[in-house]
Chains A and B, each alone.
Chain A
Amino acid sequence: MNLRVPRLFLDSLPLVRQLVRQELVDRHKGSVLGTTWTLIGPLVTILVFVLVFSRIMGARLEGFGAEIDQYTYSIYLICGILPWMAFAKCLERITNLFVAQAHLITKVRLSLKALPLSVLIAESITHLIGMVIFALFLMLVGYPFSAWWLGLPLVFALQCAFLYGLGLCLAVLASYLKDIRETVAVSLQLWFWVTPIVYVADILPAWTQDVLALNPMFHFVGAYRDLIMRQQLPETTGLLVLAAVTAGFIWLAFWLLARTERDLRDSF
Chain B
Amino acid sequence: MIEVNQLCKTFRLFAKPSDRLREALGGRQRHTPHHALRDLSFRVAEGEVLGVLGRNGAGKSTLLKLLTGVLVPDSGEMHIDGRVTGLLELGTGFNPELSGYDNITINGLMVGMSHAEINARRQTIIEFSELGDYIDEPLRTYSSGMVMRLGFAVAIHADPACFLVDEALSVGDGYFQQKCMKRIREFKEAGGSILFVSHDLNAVKMLCDRAIVLESGQITFDGDADAAVNHYNRIMARQAEEEEGRHRARHQGVYGSGDVEIVHGTALGVTSDAPMLSSGETLQVSLDLQAHRQVDDLTLGLMIRDRFGQDIYGVNTHQLGQALRLAPGEQRRVTVDITCDIAPGKYTLTLALHSSDHHLDDCYWWCDSYLQFEVAGFGGQPFGGVCRLPIALDLDAPATARDTRMPHASDL
B81 contacts the other chain (CB 8 A): no
Residue contact A261 to B109, C-beta cutoff 8 Å: no
Bound complex: CA of A177 vs CA of B16, how far in Å? 10
Residue contact B70 to A263, C-beta cutoff 8 Å: no
Residue contact B11 to A29, C-beta cutoff 8 Å: no
Indicate which residue in A14, A30, A263 contacts B109 across the interface (CB closer than 8 Å). A14
A212 contacts the other chain (CB 8 A): no
Bound complex: CA of A106 vs CA of B109, how far in Å? 16
* Given contacts A14-B109, A262-B74, A177 and B93 within 8 Å (CB-CB): no
| Contact flags A5-41 to B (C-beta < 8 A → 1, else 0) | 0001001001100100010001001100000000000
| B82 CB to nearest chain A CB (Å) | 12
Q: Which of A103, A259, A263 has the most CB of B within 10 A?
A: A263
Bound complex: CA of A104 vs CA of B26, how far in Å? 28
Bound complex: CA of A137 vs CA of B11, how far in Å? 57
Residue contact A104 to B93, C-beta cutoff 8 Å: yes
Residue contact B69 to A263, C-beta cutoff 8 Å: no
Residue contact A106 to B25, C-beta cutoff 8 Å: no
Residue contact B12 to A266, C-beta cutoff 8 Å: yes
B110 contacts the other chain (CB 8 A): yes
* Given contacts A263-B12, A266-B71, A108 and B20 within 8 Å (CB-CB): no
Report the nearest A residue to B102, measured CB to CB.
A26
Bound complex: CA of A238 vs CA of B17, how far in Å? 38
Bound complex: CA of A109 vs CA of B115, how far in Å? 17
Residue contact A267 to B92, C-beta cutoff 8 Å: no
Chain A residues, Cβ within 8 Å of B111: 108
| Contact flags B134-165 to A (C-beta < 8 A → 1, else 0) | 00001000000000000000000000000000
Residue contact A263 to B20, C-beta cutoff 8 Å: yes
Residue contact B98 to A14, C-beta cutoff 8 Å: no
A79 contacts the other chain (CB 8 A): no
Residue contact A105 to B95, C-beta cutoff 8 Å: no
Chain A residues, Cβ within 8 Å of B20: 176, 263, 267
Residue contact B110 to A107, C-beta cutoff 8 Å: yes
Chain B residues, Cβ within 8 Å of A256: 25
| B368 CB to nearest chain A CB (Å) | 38
| A96 CB to nearest chain B CB (Å) | 16
Chain A residues, Cβ within 8 Å of B65: 106
Chain A residues, Cβ within 8 Å of B40: none
Interface size on B, residues (CB 8 A): 34
Residue contact B93 to A261, C-beta cutoff 8 Å: no
| A188 CB to nearest chain B CB (Å) | 22
Chain B residues, Cβ within 8 Å of A105: 70
- For the residues of B in contact with A, the DSSP-based class is mixed
| B337 CB to nearest chain A CB (Å) | 46
Bound complex: CA of A108 vs CA of B89, how far in Å? 6
A260 contacts the other chain (CB 8 A): yes
Residue contact A108 to B95, C-beta cutoff 8 Å: no
Kindly identify, within residues 239 to 268 of chain A, every residue whose CB is under 8 Å from any CB belonging to chain B. Answer: 256, 259-267
Chain B residues, Cβ within 8 Å of A177: 17-18, 21
Chain A residues, Cβ within 8 Å of B93: 18, 104, 108
Report the nearest A residue to B67, measured CB to CB.
A109
Residue contact A108 to B18, C-beta cutoff 8 Å: no
Residue contact B95 to A109, C-beta cutoff 8 Å: no
Residue contact B97 to A29, C-beta cutoff 8 Å: yes
Bound complex: CA of A267 vs CA of B70, how far in Å? 12
Residue contact A266 to B11, C-beta cutoff 8 Å: yes
Interface size on A, residues (CB 8 A): 30
Report the nearest A residue to B72, measured CB to CB.
A262
Bound complex: CA of A97 vs CA of B349, how far in Å? 50
B371 contacts the other chain (CB 8 A): no
B114 contacts the other chain (CB 8 A): yes
Report the nearest A residue to B9, measured CB to CB.
A266
Bound complex: CA of A242 vs CA of B88, how far in Å? 43
Residue contact B138 to A15, C-beta cutoff 8 Å: no
Bound complex: CA of A265 vs CA of B69, how far in Å? 10
| B38 CB to nearest chain A CB (Å) | 16
B68 contacts the other chain (CB 8 A): yes
Kindly identify, within residues 26 to 65 of chain A, every residue whose CB is under 8 Å from any CB belonging to chain B. Answer: 26, 29-30
Indicate which residue in A104, A260, A261 contacts B92 across the interface (CB closer than 8 Å). A104
Chain B residues, Cβ within 8 Å of A15: 109-110
| A51 CB to nearest chain B CB (Å) | 34
Chain B residues, Cβ within 8 Å of A176: 17-18, 20-21, 24
Chain A residues, Cβ within 8 Å of B74: 262
A173 contacts the other chain (CB 8 A): yes
Residue contact A30 to B21, C-beta cutoff 8 Å: no
Residue contact B92 to A107, C-beta cutoff 8 Å: yes
Residue contact A30 to B97, C-beta cutoff 8 Å: yes
| B41 CB to nearest chain A CB (Å) | 20
| B18 CB to nearest chain A CB (Å) | 6
Bound complex: CA of A259 vs CA of B114, how far in Å? 31
Residue contact A259 to B92, C-beta cutoff 8 Å: no
B106 contacts the other chain (CB 8 A): yes
| A43 CB to nearest chain B CB (Å) | 24
B112 contacts the other chain (CB 8 A): yes
| Contact flags B57-81 to A (C-beta < 8 A → 1, else 0) | 0000000010011111010000000
Residue contact A18 to B112, C-beta cutoff 8 Å: no
Chain A residues, Cβ within 8 Å of B24: 176, 259-260, 263-264
Interface residues in chain A, defined as those with a beta carbon under 8 Å from any beta carbon in chain B: 8, 11, 14-15, 18, 22, 26, 29-30, 103-109, 173, 176-178, 256, 259-267
Interface residues in chain B, defined as those with a beta carbon under 8 Å from any beta carbon in chain A: 11-12, 17-18, 20-21, 24-26, 65, 68-72, 74, 84, 88-89, 92-93, 95, 97-98, 102, 105-106, 109-112, 114-115, 138
With A108-B93, A267-B20 given, name 18 new contacts (CB 8 A): A8-B69, A11-B112, A14-B109, A29-B95, A29-B97, A29-B98, A30-B97, A103-B92, A109-B69, A109-B70, A109-B84, A173-B21, A176-B17, A176-B21, A177-B18, A256-B25, A263-B24, A264-B24
In the A-B complex, the 3 residue pairs with the closest CB atoms: A176-B21, A109-B69, A262-B72
